[in-house]
Amino acid sequence: MAAPDTVVNLDDKLARIDEHWSPMIVGQINDLHVKLAKVEGEFVWHSHPDTDEFFLVRSGRLVIEMRGRDAVTIGPGEFFVVPRGVEHRPVADRECHLLLLEPAGVVNTGDAPESGLTAGQEWI
């Protein structure tokens, strides 16, 4: 676990992540975890019934497809909040680096069946 009271450099932490779709915890604000992830390709369709989900793109480009809504494209220095309950699927044509915010304990694959994409709750 990262020491609290430490300045966290996003790129230094991202350099320690070598797996796609495997968000790592790098900080906490109240009950919310700050996570970093590298993603590429298509994730699974899922939703989080009880929480909004914040995506801030650090590098690359992320498309978030949403059931019944237009997809959004998020570039570097941009964020988007997927409202709770909205079924969505993140897709990145090329590797994309993300900062995520979600409550401690939230599983990345939401209500989708557990799979190889389901990540743990690991601090780096």
Q: Which residues bind a copy of itself (CB under 8 A)?
A: 4-11, 27-30, 32, 34, 51-54, 58, 69, 72-75, 77-81, 83-84, 101, 103
Alpha-carbon distance of 98 to 35, in angstroms, equals 8
Nearer to a copy of itself, 74 or 92 (CB): 74
Question: Least CB distance from residue 24 to a copy of itself, whole Å?
Answer: 14
Phi and psi angles of residue 74, each rounded to the nearest 5 degrees, phi first: -115, 125
Q: Tell which residue, 14, 31, 12, 10, has the closest CA to residue 22.
A: 14
CB closer to a copy of itself out of 3 and 115? 3
Q: Do 79 and 104 contact (CB within 8 A), yes or no?
A: no
* Of residues 34 and 113, the one with the C-beta less far from a copy of itself: 34
